[in-house]
Structure 1
Amino acid sequence: MAHGTQMRRHLCGIQTAWTDAGEATEAVAAVAAILDRGGVGHLIVFFSPAYEVETLTAALAAQFPGVGLTGCSTSGGISPAGSIDRGLVAIAFPRQGFRIVSGVLTQITRLDVEGAASTVRGLRRTLDHGRSDGGSGHRFALSLIDSLANAEETVVSAVAWALDGIPLIGGSAGDDLAFRSTVLIHDGQVCRDAAVILLVETDFPIRIFKSDNFEPTNRRFVVTAAREEERRVTELNAEPAAREYAMAVGRDPENLSTMSFAAYPLAVKIGGEYYCRSISRVEPDGSMTFFCAIGEGVVLTLAQPRDIVEATRAELESLDEALGGLDLVIGFDCVFRRLDAESRQVRHRIADLYRRYGVVGFETYGEQYRSMHLNQTFTGIAIGRAERP
C-alpha cells in the first residue's frame, strides 16, 4: 500500500505520480504540485470512485490547461510504489517522444459500429498528419470503457477493425466491486455509456502483452439458457446455473462469493486458446451474471489456477529481455486477480514484481487485448529503455 504523494520520472520522459489523498481537489493539487507540467502533452488518470467526478474533472482542467486529459474510475490503482486502494494515479506523457490523439465513443450500449470505426479512422489520419519527419514510430491504441454498459465486445471489435493492425490494449472502468457507477473523463467532460480511445505513437520500443495464471480442466458446461443482453446465464447443462457451478467447485450455492469466482473462473476456447469468462455475481434466482458477453450454446471450461506470482514474473521477465530493459509498463489488471492473490496471501509478492518492473495502471472489470475483451487477465503496454536507432 503506497502512502502520501509520490512521483517518478521514467527514462522515456513519462512522469508517473500517485496520491492517496481522500478528496478530489486535494488529490489533483497534490499531483499537480509534484509533476513538472511544462512539457506534458497528455495526462491519463485512474481514480477512486469515492471522488466526486465533476469536481475532479474541473480541478484537472484548471491545473493542466491545454493538456489532453483522459481517465476512468477504478477498483484500485497500481503505482510504481505499490497498490493504491483509494486515490489517484496519473501518467503524464511528454510532448517529446510521444504523439497522442484521443476521441470518445458515446452511447455504446447502442453502438453505431460504422460511426465508431469512422471516429477511429479519423484519429489515425490525425496522427498521420501530425508527423513532422515523415518517419514511422511505434504505435499502439489504449481503450478505457464504461464497464456497466456491457458493450466491450462490440466496442473492441469495431475499434480493432478500424485500427487496421495497430495493437489495442485497455481496461474497463471499475467502482470497487459496487457495480453501481463506473465513469470516464475525456478533455474536461464526464462520460458514461462511453469509451475513450487513445492512439499513441512513440520513438521508444514497445510490446503489448497479456498474461493469466489458469489452465483448463476436463470439466465442461454448456450454456443451455441465457439472457444475452444482460450477460446472465440461467442454466448450465440444463440445471440452475449457480447450483451446477457450485457442485463443480465443491461449494454451497448459497455461499458462492467473489472469492469463489476469482479462484475458479470459467474459460471459453477461441482459436485454440482459452480465455477467461469471469462470473460477476449470483442473482437471487440462482442465475449468474458475467463480466463478458455470454450466449446460449457456448461451451465453458472450468479452469484451475497456476502460481499467479510465477506466471506474472515470467511475463515481466520476458518483456524485460525482449525490450533490453523495461522502463515502464502501463498495465490493466483484473480486480479478480487481486482477490485471488489476496486469498492465496501473495498480493505483496505481486506488488513487489510491479514495483521492480515499473508497472502503473489500475484494477479493472475487464481487459482488452487486440480484438478481444477478456477477464482475469493482466494486459498492457511495455515501454523499453533504449531508443531505437
Structure 2
Amino acid sequence: MAEGTRVRTHLCGITTAWTEAEEADAAIAEIGAAIGERSVAQIVAFFSADYDVETLNRALTARFPGAGIAGCTMSGGISPAGGLDRGLVVIAFPRENFRIVSTLLDAIDHLDVERTASSVRALRRSLEAEDGAGLAPGTGRRFALSLIDGLTNAEETVVSAIAWALDGIPLVGGSAGDDLTFRQTVLLHDGRIHQRAAVLLLVETDFPIQIFKSDNFEPTDTKFVVTASDDEQRIVHELNAEPAAREYAMAVGLDPERLSPMSFAAYPLAVKVGGEYFCRSIRRMNPDGSLSFFCAIDEGVVLTLARPRDIVAATGAELARLDADLGGIDLVIGFECVLRRLDAESRQVRHGIFDLYRRYDIVGFDTYGEQYRSMHLNQTFTGIAIGRGEPGRDSGAR
C-alpha cells in the first residue's frame, strides 16, 4: 500500500505523482506541490470515484493552466510504490520530446461511427500539424490512449471505430471504474466533466515505445453456449439452456448463492477469436440468476472456462520481454482489470504484483475493461512501455 504523496521524474521527462489524500482539493494541492514548476503539456489523472469531481476538476484546471487535462474515475490506482485502494494518480507529460492532442467522443451509448471516425482522423491531422519532426505514421513513435465510460456497455463499438480511423496507430486504454459499485463513472476533458463519453489522446514521442497486453489464463475443456441473452445490456440469462448463474456455478464447483466478484476473478470465461482466447469476464450475478458481463456477449457464442496461471510469473515475463526489447524500461502506463487485482488478493500474491510495479515504474489504474488495438478485453493488463533509449532511436510499437 502506498502512503503519503510520492513523485518521480523519469528519464523521458514525464513526471508521475500519486497520493491517498481523503479529499479532492487536498489531493490536488499535494500533487501540485510534488510536481512543482515543471513545464507540463498534458495531465492524465486517475482518481477515486468518491472524490467530489467538481472540486477535483476546478483544482486540476487551476493548478495546471495551459496544460491539456484528461482523466477518469478508477477502481484502484497503480503506482511504483504499490497499489492504491483510493486516491489520485497523475501523469504529467512534458512539452519536450512529446506532442499530444486529444478529443472527446460524446454520447457513445448511441455512437455515430462515421462521425467518430471523422473526429479521430481530424485528431490525426492536428497531430501531424504539431509535428515539427515530421515523423510518418508507422515509425513506431505514435500511440493512442483511450479512457472510456465503463458503464455504457459501448466499448466494443467505440474501440472498433477508433481503431479503424487510427490507420495503424496502436491503441491501448482502460474503462473508467467506480470501486465495483457500478453506480457512476466519470471522465474529465479540458475543464469539463463528462459521462457516456470517451477521451482519446494521440501521443507522438521521440523515445522508443511498445504497447503490450498480458493475461494469465489458459482454456480448459469446459464449454458453455449462450442460449438466451440480452445483448444490448450484456446480460446472459441461460448457458447450455440452463439458468446462467447455476450452470456456471455447477461447472466450477461453487454454491450458486455465493457467487461473488472473487469467484468470477478466479474462474474466468473466454471466447476464441482468430485462434486466440480473450477473457469475457462476469461483472455480477443478478437476482434472477442471470449474469452481467463486462464485455459484449451475443446469443450463440461459445464460452470456454479458463484456469488461471501464475499471475506474477506471467506479468513478469511480459515486462521482462519489453525491458529487453526497449533496452530498459523507463516508465509503463498500465491499465489492469480490477478482477486481476481481486484474483491476486485472493491468492495472496498481490505483493508480487507490487514488486513489478516498483521494478518497472508502472503507473495507471484498475479498470472495468481494457483496450488493445481494436479489441475490448477483460482480465488483462494492457499498456504502453516507454524505453530508456536516446530520443530518435526507433524500436517500434508492437
- Normalised-by-shorter TM-score class: over 0.9
Query: Which SS does the other structure have where 1:178 is aligned?
Result: coil
Alpha-carbon distance between aligned partners in 2 of 1:108 and 1:133, rounded to the nearest angstrom: 34
2:302 equivalent in structure 1 = 299
Q: Contact 1:40/1:92 (CA < 8 Å) preserved in 2?
A: yes
Q: Contact 1:171/1:367 (CA < 8 Å) preserved in 2?
A: yes
Query: Which SS does the other structure have where 1:149 is aligned?
Result: coil
TM-score by length of 2: 0.97
| Residue 144 (structure 2) pairs with residue 141 (structure 1) | yes
Alpha-carbon distance between aligned partners in 1 of 2:225 and 2:38, rounded to the nearest angstrom: 56
1:211 equivalent in structure 2 = 214
Q: Which amino acid aligns with 1:346?
A: V
2:60 equivalent in structure 1 = 60
Shift of residue 36, structure 1, vs aligned partner: 3.5
Shift of residue 71, structure 1, vs aligned partner: 0.3
Q: Which amino acid aligns with 2:176?
A: A
Q: Deviations over 1:214-268 (max 9, x none)?
A: 0000000000000011100000000000010000000011011111000001000
Q: Which amino acid aligns with 1:365?
A: Y
Shift of residue 37, structure 1, vs aligned partner: 3.6
Aligned residues: 389
1:232 equivalent in structure 2 = 235
Q: Contact 1:231/1:293 (CA < 8 Å) preserved in 2?
A: yes
Q: Select 2:316's aligned residue among 297, 313, 316.
A: 313
Alpha-carbon distance between aligned partners in 2 of 1:272 and 1:294, rounded to the nearest angstrom: 18
Q: Which amino acid aligns with 1:22?
A: E
Alpha-carbon distance between aligned partners in 2 of 1:76 and 1:38, rounded to the nearest angstrom: 27
Shift of residue 38, structure 1, vs aligned partner: 3.5
1:381 equivalent in structure 2 = 384
Q: Contact 1:37/1:64 (CA < 8 Å) preserved in 2?
A: no
Shift of residue 133, structure 1, vs aligned partner: 3.0
Q: Which amino acid aligns with 1:328?
A: L
Shift of residue 303, structure 1, vs aligned partner: 0.2
Q: Which amino acid aligns with 1:2?
A: A
1:170 equivalent in structure 2 = 173
| Residue 380 (structure 2) pairs with residue 360 (structure 1) | no
Query: Which SS does the other structure have where 1:34 is aligned?
Result: helix
The correspondence of residues 1-389 of structure 1 with structure 2, limited to 5 A, is 1-136=1-136, 138-387=141-390, 388-389=392-393
Alpha-carbon distance between aligned partners in 1 of 2:220 and 2:37, rounded to the nearest angstrom: 51
Q: Deviations over 1:184-241 (max 9, x none)?
A: 0000100100000000000000000000000000000000000011100000000000
Alpha-carbon distance between aligned partners in 2 of 1:361 and 1:188, rounded to the nearest angstrom: 21
Gaps of 5+ in 1: none
Q: Which amino acid aligns with 2:162?
A: V
Alpha-carbon distance between aligned partners in 2 of 1:30 and 1:296, rounded to the nearest angstrom: 49
Q: Deviations over 1:320-342 (max 9, x none)?
A: 00000000000000000000000
Alpha-carbon distance between aligned partners in 1 of 2:223 and 2:377, rounded to the nearest angstrom: 19
Query: Which SS does the other structure have where 1:101 is aligned?
Result: strand
Q: Which amino acid aligns with 1:111?
A: L
Matched-pair identity in %? 71
Q: Contact 1:48/1:87 (CA < 8 Å) preserved in 2?
A: yes
Shift of residue 80, structure 1, vs aligned partner: 1.3
Shift of residue 134, structure 1, vs aligned partner: 2.1
Shift of residue 114, structure 1, vs aligned partner: 0.6
Gaps of 5+ in 2: 394-398
